[in-house]
Structure 1
Amino acid sequence: MIDTIQARPEVAREESPIPRHFTQLSAEQATALADDYQAGIRVKELAAKYGISRETVSKHLRRRAITPRKVGLDAQQIKEAVRLYEQGDSLATIGTRMGVTAHTVRSRLLEVGVRMRSSYEHLL
């Protein structure tokens, strides 16, 4: 049977694109990760740098009681998002323009008290 599989490489089992090993961070690496986060490096970048998932980065930060940053928009961007939304732009359009998701835009607008339009209101 092995000879048959080796003779037909197209049916041979391929390597999984998902690594089957898990990276364990040392105490020094976990401290460096926390310092990097507090210096402003984003979770996605930290995950790539340390070879771990974004969720694992978040777990390390939670263990150290580090408060997560708000996702995506600073105060000036929120002000601009409010202006664009009240002008009639969609959440998706604003998100694309600002490099965040529509959900992030919606969350930040709700936080500052903006009333969301219904999905059909623009037709009225």
Structure 2
Amino acid sequence: MVRADARGPVVKNSSQAQTRLSFPNRAKVVADYRRGDAVKDIAARYSIHRSTVTEVLSRAEVPARRYGLPEPVRKEAAQLYTQGLGIRTVADRLGISYAGARAGIVGYGVALRPSGRQPRR
């Protein structure tokens, strides 16, 4: 007797139901990721764990996405900051978060000014 649930066959003698992805579904997971879908969304769509998605992707030798600000945005953030704007102003102007602006500025190699009110020049 094959054990199954609404998603398909499951492992025998397991305390949890474990869904086995078919080859076509594995290919769909890879295609969805390459299309730009988030791992959590893919996991929910196929009723699998996020780590299963990353395992499928690593077995298919799909490179992981790189997160963070693109190089042109980091460069612009660093230029604006070196021109005297504050981090919050840079973030607002570029439409990014404070943390993202700060990380972009530091990542571009710019030393941060001391916090607090700056003396007038």
Task: Give the shorter-chain TM-score range.
Answer: 0.5 to 0.7
* Alignment partner of 1:28 out of 24, 28, 40: 24
1:32-51 aligned within 5 A: 32-51=28-47
Instruction: Tell me, yes or no, if the aligned pair for 1:34 and 1:61 is still in contact at 8 Å.
Output: yes
Matching of residues 45-84 of structure 1 within 5 Å: 45-79=41-75, 81-82=77-78
Structure 2 gaps, min length 5: 1-15
Q: 1:89 aligns with which of 66, 70, 87?
A: 87
- Counterpart of 1:23, as a letter, is T
Structure 1 unmatched runs, 5+: 1-19
Amino acid at match of 1:122: S
Q: 1:98 aligns with which of 96, 99, 121?
A: 96
Instruction: Check conservation: 1:43, 1:57, Cα contact below 8 A.
Output: yes
Identity over aligned residues, as a percent? 31
Q: Is the helix fraction higher in 1 or 2? A: 1
Q: Is the 8 A contact 2:19 2:48 kept in 1?
A: yes
Alignment-derived partner of residue 7 in structure 2: none
Residues 72-116 of structure 1, C-alpha deviations (whole Å, 9 max, x = no match): 5334543455467663226xxx5xx637x947963x55543344x
8 Å contact kept, 1:72–1:104: no
Distance change >3 Å, CA 73–CA 23, structure 1 → 2: farther
TM-score (norm 1): 0.53
Further displaced range: 34-43 or 79-88:
79-88
Number of equivalences: 97
3-state secondary structure, aligned to 2:21:
coil
Amino acid at match of 1:43: V
C-alpha distance in 2, partners of 1:69/1:122? Answer: 33
Task: Quote the RMSD (CA, aligned, Å).
Answer: 3.5
